[in-house]
Amino acid sequence: AGTEEDQKFCLQEVLDTFKLCLSENKEVYLEHYVAGWRGLVKFLNSLGSVFGFISKDAVNKIHILVTLLNGENGSQYATVQSMVKYELENDLVDLTKRGSHPESGCRTLLRLHRALRWLELFLERLRTSSEDGKTSVMCSEAYNESLSQFHPWVVRKAAGMAFCMLPGRPAFFEVMNVGPTEQVVAKLGEALPLISEVYQITEELYTQQNLMNLP
């Protein structure tokens, strides 16, 4: 038996965690949000070491949030909503420039939130692509429309180079581990509205609280 990270990725699992993310009153459970990202990182790792610098950053951010969740004030971190409230009320967020709280839950989650938009755009392209669609093109288009604006030139360059190493659509679907193409497409169709809703709710909360530009 290996560790959780060694186990084979399965899109179904990620789908399940994103399903669990939303509470009845549309709050986002941090535990499941983080678990969703864990699953995605597992996928990324199975694509090879060229993506290591990306998964490393994601793992680092997941780790920051898990530490907060398991910490002394963990109960305040049950949902993204309660986290935002708690950290703001207790001055635990650097709002305009990096200072004494460089690793707040709010700024850390914002990075993953921005990446979630990339994921949404990328998966939508994958879902609607034809058999000869190029994953590297879908990936870079999605990136250029979303995350890239928050990254300096070097990161954009490195990301662009990594995208070129992505396997083709058939191999990509294979790694998703949900069966034949039609089934992958159906699963993606199921996953996307969930991911999109989680994204939307977080986006509204962050906009409302003026947290979209946390350093």
**Site residues, ligand 1PX (CB under 6 A):** 11, 40, 43-44, 53-54, 57-58, 111, 114-115, 118, 139, 143, 147, 155, 159, 166, 176
Q: Considering the complex, what minimum distance in angstroms separates the CB of residue 35 from ligand 1PX?
A: 14
Q: Considering the complex, what minimum distance in angstroms separates the CB of residue 146 from ligand 1PX?
A: 9
Q: Considering the complex, what minimum distance in angstroms separates the CB of residue 116 from ligand 1PX?
A: 9
Nearer to ligand 1PX, 72 or 182 (CB): 182
Q: Considering the complex, what minimum distance in angstroms separates the CB of residue 53 from ligand 1PX?
A: 6
Nearer to ligand 1PX, 44 or 88 (CB): 44
Q: Six-digit token pair at 148? A: 């890239």
Distance CA 76, CA 55 (A): 27
Nearer to ligand 1PX, 75 or 213 (CB): 213
Nearer to ligand 1PX, 40 or 205 (CB): 40
Q: Considering the complex, what minimum distance in angstroms separates the CB of residue 111 from ligand 1PX?
A: 4
| Chain centre to alpha carbon of residue 96 | 24
Q: Considering the complex, what minimum distance in angstroms separates the CB of residue 27 from ligand 1PX?
A: 23
Nearer to ligand 1PX, 25 or 97 (CB): 97
| Chain centre to alpha carbon of residue 1 | 27
Nearer to ligand 1PX, 86 or 118 (CB): 118
Question: Residue 108, Cβ neighbours under 10 Å: how many?
Answer: 20
Distance CA 163, CA 173 (A): 16
